[in-house]
Chains A and B, each alone.
Chain A
Amino acid sequence: MRALKELTGVAAPLPMINVDTDMIIPKQYLKTISRDGLGKGLFHSMRYNDDGTDNPDFVLNKEAYKNADFLIAGDNFGCGSSREHAAWALEDFGIRCVISSSFSDIFYNNAFKNGMLLIKLPQDVIDNLMQQAEYGSNAKFSVDLESQTVTAPDGSEHKFELDEFRKHCLLNGLDEIALTLEKDACITGFEKTASQKHSWLSPAS
């Protein structure tokens, strides 16, 4: 996983609530057996017209936001399907940080596993940041993970909360599976106790 310590860039405003993962990456992109190249399908229905041309009104098609590093989104971002393709598509497009008032649980987990940072801030702060993001490429946002701070274009600083373990993994770009496999003895011990206590746990065959 790619580490993330600091990030500075433009933030695309997406002032919609309940943006679901079908909207982030629709079904036709789920047939891949790879994690790569999904950025082209990001927000497909809103980003492209029916004839496949770009919809000029969609935020990521506007010149200022074509290289956005941040997305500022309405409440409950990433709800719905567990498809990790949603995180892969955002990351492949170049967005490494999404800021919202809340995220769905599964999307939240998926994003962090892919070196992305998701930041939860109160609704009034989101409304303010959304306004500032409208200033386009003149409005640079930055985030410092160590100090858990977002700095808005107007210089205001906003602290955010994050679990220590998640932060540690993202700061250092750690492979969580490798970390877990280091606990093999612990897992084996758990399995031994569980099978002694509950012999019914193994599926009948």
Chain B
Amino acid sequence: MAAQTLYDKIWDAHVVSTEPDGTCLIYIDRHLVHEVTSAQAFSGLRHNNRQVRRPELTLAVVDHNIPTSDRSKGINDPESKLQVDTLRTNTDEFGVEYYDEQDVRQGIVHIIGPEQGFTLPGTTVVCGDSHTATHGAFGALAHGIGTSEVEHVLASQTLLQNKSKNMQVLVKGKLPDGVTAKDLTLAIIAKTGTAGGTGHVIEYRGEAISDLSIEGRMTLCNMAIEGGARAGLVAPDEKTFAYLKGRPKAPRGKDWDEAVEYWKTLKTDEGAHFDLTVEIDASSIAPIVTWGTSPEDALPITDTVPDPKSFKDEHKQTAAQRSLDYMGLTAGTSLSDIEIDKVFIGSCTNGRIEDLRAVAKVVEGKKIAENVSAMVVPGSGLVKKQAEEEGIADILKSAGFDWREPGCSMCLGMNPDRLKPQERCASTSNRNFEGRQGHGGRTHLMSPAMAAAAAVTGKLTDVRTIVNS
């Protein structure tokens, strides 16, 4: 057999049937569901008198819409409440397991999947959410789908797909101290552009990738979609197996042994063909922040706001000027001179325990700047509990952070956590689009450590200058 990539192997193992033009019916092993993109899919089933084919392969949770303040008071917004109530009704009716807002296992859908051991190497994972790419960190083929496709998966446990092309991002060398998976993923997008991965599945390879923790790999793969890729993948290794072992939904006993034996075969063969290769030297990467309204608008913190005229492409020049106008920035300003109003720590990109530890490490014994209000939204109830047990919550609260309940929160501002017009936010989330965190809000994406540094100084700051001092 010809040498295959990891993507080729997972794809081949899931083809149910093939149309004459090459369109395939792919089997879906794991389906995650949340309240915002599922209601219309369940009504579609009901309308056509269809069932959920295998409810045990679907896991539902509420995350996008719920308040991160005291849960006992319920949801004030009637539309949000209806959407959340509808998820409960739908999961009850169709027999799907559901973690509601009172459940300690509740959290952001892409955090709870791995946390519960629901996400496994070699499986196909889908969810009506573009950041499903996160699960690729385990060597699972994982991508976001629309609501029509959610309905398709619920009804048939399959999806109609065209195979993507193979792309590898080869990250050689080691990341310097103070540089994290978030900086790496932003550096990759800055290099490839937001459409650079369109039509491709990316496999991240190389020493710096093997060195990343599983949580770091999740941060990396999470933003594969911001580079336009259908999915991001990292081959499973001993770290992956150690992370999954003993998790509630992971295999046990003989099943576990057989699974690990199979998972060890999930790697790209020597000589396998990639349609596109991008190489990055990890040692050259510095802590990164975004300056514009697209994730590709990312630069090292030591740089300055670019001049729109410096871009070769005229469409990009126009886009960059629009970004600067929206962001209220002037070309030539040092990025480290930009003052902020808000700090948001959380999201499926950076809402895990290692992220919170990184913030605590920077802010321990310090106070956030007077001009800043900062919030921490743990990615799940279990992350929150662990952070409280480890003393992280106390450190953050003493520093002046608002310690919240888990959910998507200000990553997309569907719940009450939003920026006001022209408020500037140092955010650990994944999208700096216009209006993403609130109408007129200005988002700078960065790592948790960098957001913590900004919280302390009140402006965008190179975290290495804080930790070293």
Where the two chains meet, the residues of A that have a C-beta atom closer than 8 Å to any C-beta of B are: 15-18, 20, 22-23, 26-27, 30-35, 45, 74-76, 79-84, 87, 102-106, 109-110, 113-114, 163-166, 176-178, 180-181, 183, 186-187, 190-191, 194, 198-205
Bound-state CA distance A27–B143 (Å) is: 21
Partner of A201, one of B25, B36, B77, B123: B123
Tally of A-B Cβ pairs under 8 angstroms: 199
Q: Provide the residues of chain B in CB contact with A20, threshold 8 Å.
A: 294, 431, 433
Bound-state CA distance A162–B143 (Å) is: 22
Which chain B residue has the least Cβ–Cβ distance from A166?
Answer: B23
B294 touches A198 (CB 8 A): no
A84 touches B148 (CB 8 A): yes
B39 touches A79 (CB 8 A): no
Instruction: With both chains docked as a complex, state the minimum distance between the C-beta of A59 and any C-beta of chain B, in angstroms.
Output: 15
A16 touches B83 (CB 8 A): no
B25 touches A183 (CB 8 A): yes
B156 touches A17 (CB 8 A): no
> B256-264, B359-367, B394-402: which one contacts chain A?
B256-264
Instruction: With both chains docked as a complex, state the minimum distance between the C-beta of A185 and any C-beta of chain B, in angstroms.
Output: 10
B251 touches A205 (CB 8 A): no
Partner of A23, one of B145, B152, B433: B433
Q: Provide the residues of chain A in CB contact with B248, threshold 8 Å.
A: 204
A106 touches B144 (CB 8 A): yes
Partner of B294, one of A18, A81, A87, A194: A18
Q: With A105-B199, A190-B27 known to touch, is A82 a contact of B130 (CB < 8 Å)?
A: yes
Instruction: With both chains docked as a complex, state the minimum distance between the C-beta of A192 and any C-beta of chain B, in angstroms.
Output: 12
B228 CB–A CB distance under 8 Å: yes
Partner of B82, one of A33, A114, A200: A33
B459 CB–A CB distance under 8 Å: no
Q: With A34-B40, A45-B434 known to touch, is A109 a contact of B17 (CB < 8 Å)?
A: no
Instruction: With both chains docked as a complex, state the minimum distance between the C-beta of A11 and any C-beta of chain B, in angstroms.
Output: 18
B130 touches A45 (CB 8 A): no
- Would you list 23 pairs from A and B whose C-beta atoms are within 8 A, ordered by A residue? A15-B315, A17-B318, A26-B435, A31-B83, A45-B439, A76-B194, A79-B194, A80-B226, A82-B132, A83-B37, A84-B40, A84-B148, A87-B146, A110-B146, A164-B21, A165-B19, A180-B160, A181-B50, A187-B53, A187-B158, A198-B262, A202-B56, A205-B249
Partner of A180, one of B123, B158, B413: B158
Q: Which residues of B (3-51) have their CB < 8 Å from a CB of A?
A: 16-17, 19-23, 25, 27, 29-30, 36-37, 39-40, 43-44, 48, 50
B212 CB–A CB distance under 8 Å: no
A80 touches B249 (CB 8 A): no
Q: Which residues of B (130-149) have their CB < 8 Å from a CB of A?
A: 130, 132, 143-149
7 A-B pairs closest in CB distance: A110-B146, A164-B21, A200-B251, A113-B148, A84-B146, A33-B39, A82-B144
A200 touches B433 (CB 8 A): no
Partner of B255, one of A109, A166, A200: A200
Q: Provide the residues of chain A in CB contact with B50, threshold 8 Å.
A: 177, 181
Q: Which residues of B (317-337) have their CB < 8 Å from a CB of A?
A: 318-319, 322
Instruction: With both chains docked as a complex, state the minimum distance between the C-beta of A85 and any C-beta of chain B, in angstroms.
Output: 8
B316 CB–A CB distance under 8 Å: yes
Q: With A165-B19, A199-B258, A204-B250 known to touch, is A80 a contact of B431 (CB < 8 Å)?
A: yes
